[in-house]
Amino acid sequence: MRGGDVAAAEAGSPRSPDLYDLSDDSDYAAAAAASDRTVMRTDPADRGSEETARVDVVYEKERVTIHPSQYGSGRISGKLRLFLQQGSLFLSWEPNEGADSLSTSSVGVEIEKYRNLYTIKALPLSDVRFIRRYTPTFGLDYIIIVLSSGLAFPPFYFYNSGIRELFATLKQHVFIIRSDDDPNVFLVNDFQDPLQKSLSSLELPGVASVANAMSRQNSLSFTGSNDESRHGATSSMSQYSSKQKHKSNDPGRDLSIQVLEKFSLVTKFARDTTSSLFRDNSGAHAYGRQQHEYILDNKATDKHKNQYITPEKASTPSATIESDPLPLVWGKQRDHPLSVKEWAAFLDPEGRVMDSKALRKKVFYGGVDHALRKEVWKFLLGYHEYDSTYAEREYLAAMKRAEYEAVKSQWKSISATQAKRFTKFRERKGLIDKDVVRTDRSIPYYEGDDNQNVVVLRDILLTYSFYNFNLGYCQGMSDFLAPILYVMEDESESFWCFASLMERLGANFNRDQNGMHAQLLALSKLVELLDPPLHNYFRQNDCLNYFFCFRWVLIQFKREFSFDQIMLLWEVLWTHYLSEHFHLYLCVAILKKYRQRIIGEQMDFDTLLKFINELSGQINLDRAIQDAEALCTIAGENGASCIPPGTPPSMPIETDGGLYVQEDEVL
């Protein structure tokens, strides 16, 4: 620590770590040099118990910032601290008061509303799995903190440096080592062999112990100042001072895997160990057998409060989890799939789609006959333009096939000697090789040893990692590609359809996680609009991060439905007929359907995550789409305003570069 910093700290009077604050104002720059300091403080609220209340602040840094939206200007600056109590080290981050100086008025208002969403009152370092440091060539240094549960905070950007001092302080108080596999990964409190650890421990069947680590989620405050009485520093630190970190072991993977992958795996660990936790002896309700009324709680308009629509009786899956008979207005009944005859009627003699909106509407309400998917999906995914002719599409296919082979040759020509000097290639290839052999292997198209379709799947993903080298490969991409290859049965066309899809969903896999956080934040606002009681329950129980929906959003319900069902759902989503973000309304519909169970059983984050996991294979897809349609229609413009422009799967917003260029920006 610099001498000037120590002197500045000694000169200052003791202050409570919860009260001291500095806004991002013009006077801040002059005092920035004194922002790192070591101070010993005593909480004045509990002087009668000095042993318990004593707080030693060992690190403090201003202008540590998160970017909860995809806008560079939409940022929240705050103060990051490390402090000791009763021999245990804790981390806190609290946002500054007032809007940031570089936020536009519209973005600033939105950011201000959610300023306290990511507040951390007292996170015990014993709950931290590792910290990953990023030092991009262009832009700001930042870190991502990953918990032993696998969940992660949004990136913390250091506008006034300070990462080096942070790690130096950590090394003085906890056991922290650098990973041998990735020099930017620092394992915290890892007393076991780091080479035998990985982020993907939740991928292994039967690892129920990971569920125990999720109970520490209560140490995080996502509820803002309303709940500060429930998250006081003293009570939080006392609660966790004796906790020991729970470990998990997976020798099959390396620690260099990106943080985002873990979220796609976080919902597997409970299946084998909690299958009977939420069973109802009386069996599942036949949801929708009564007339239902949609009530938008205190936000509904009178026009919708009295709407009654009687759904046709339909068979429900043999569910082990009972849904709530929530009052919902039903959307339009599902139609038959687009037939060959109907498809031909949409085309003019030269092959142009004459009414793309009508086509998308037809697909939205009925899907596509499987025999037509190979042709129709190319339009839905943006590989073909709706006004293109047969001849133009044939020419495009030839050109794109040549372009694909050119990109593929880049990695095919890498020799073993060159690969030894190409770390990024080895890492990505190794990760892809491990993922493709466990992607949809129960489907006949991919089952069995030495399956050539699995080889093609790997080749496409490797080629894409060279085509979009900034994004590369992340776990979850193989989940998107497998159904596309199954439908197209053509390597080049599968690649370009997948590449088109990643233009919209690539932000799901960015290392800074801004794409995912933007969607989860939008989901939070939609639930607040469409189901205030459920939103309030989540707020009171520290569940406003909506991480329990992470897998739903990340891979768009791929693990929740059968292979045939997911092809139907995805083609519905790809129409963008009612909304580009229809998947978020689907999330709301499913949560709303089980609202009474969630609130009635007082589910905390742990229990809620397990409950969401158990829904896999239990959701009636047709009815979920109908409910989501009703919610989307009634929410209208108010719902659309909850979702900022550029939120995936919307096309990324073109910018002028802003303050900096992100390391993993999707172009």
Q: How many residues does the chain have?
A: 667
How far apart are the C-alpha atoms of 222 and 333, rounded to whole Å? Answer: 39
Hey, how many other C-beta atoms are within 10 angstroms of the C-beta on 82? Answer: 22
> CA–CA separation, 329 vs 284, rounded Å?
21
b/e per residue 110-121 (b: at least 16 CB within 10 A): bbbebbbbbbbb
What are the structure tokens assigned to 311, written together? 């759904």
Q: How many Å apart are CA 654 and CA 439, to the nearest integer?
A: 34
Q: How far is CA 507 from CA 22, 259, 428, in A?
A: 32, 14, 18
The tens digit of pLDDT for each residue in 600-645 reads: 999 999 899 999 989 999 999 999 999 999 999 999 999 999 998 8
DSSP state of 549: G
Residue 371 confidence (pLDDT): 96
Is the separation of the CB atoms in 270 and 150 below 8 Å?
A: no
- Tell whether the torsion through CA atoms of 282, 287, 289 and 290 is positive or negative: positive
Start-end of H helices in 273-366: 302-305, 340-346, 356-366
pLDDT score recorded for residue 67 = 79
User: Which of 575, 583, 569, 567 lies closest to 356, judged by CA?
Assistant: 575
Q: Are 268 and 613 in contact (CB under 8 A)?
A: yes
257-to-92, 323, 612 alpha-carbon distances in Å: 26, 37, 25
Ramachandran bin of 19, using left for φ above 0, alpha for ψ from -120 to 50, beta for the remaining angles: alpha
pLDDT on residue 512:
80
Burial 539-576 (b: 16+ CB within 10 A, else e): bebbbbbbbbbbbbbbbbbbbbbeeebbbbbbbbbbbb
Sign of the Cα pseudo-torsion (506, 507, 509, 515, in order): negative
Please, are residues 647 and 581 in contact by the beta-carbon 8 Å criterion? yes
| Cα 247-248-251 angle, rounded to 5 deg | 135
First vs last C-alpha separation in the chain: 40
Three-state SS sequence of 550-593? HHHHHCCCCCCCCHHHHHHHHHHHHCCCCCCCHHHHHHHHHHHH
Per DSSP, the residues of 418-464 read HHHT-HHHHHHHHHHHHHHTTSSTTSTTT-STT-HHHHHHHHHHHHH
Strand, coil or helix: 594: coil
DSSP string over 225-291: GGGGGGS-HHHHHHHHTT--------TTS-TTS-HHHHHHHTTSTTTTT-TTTT--TT----TT-S-
Structural domains for the chain = 56-196 (2.30.29.230), 340-508 (1.10.8.270), 514-642 (1.10.472.80)
Q: What pLDDT was estimated at residue 572?
A: 97
Instruction: Give dist(CA 79, CA 201) in Å, integer.
Output: 32
Other beta carbons within 10 angstroms of residue 180's beta carbon come to 14
Give pLDDT tens digits for 399-452: 999 999 999 999 999 999 999 999 999 999 999 999 999 999 999 999 999 999
**Measured distance CA(553)–CA(586) in Å, rounded:** 10
The pLDDT, as a whole number, for residue 662 is: 38
Supply 475's token pair.
């776990």
Which pLDDT does position 83 carry in this prediction?
93
Q: What is the pLDDT of residue 382?
A: 94
- How high is the pLDDT of residue 241? 38
pLDDT along the chain (667 residues), means of 10: 40 34 33 37 45 80 81 75 89 78 52 70 89 82 84 86 90 84 80 37 32 35 37 37 37 35 37 31 32 34 33 37 50 88 97 97 97 97 96 96 97 94 93 95 94 97 96 94 98 97 93 88 95 94 92 95 97 96 97 95 92 94 94 93 91 48 36
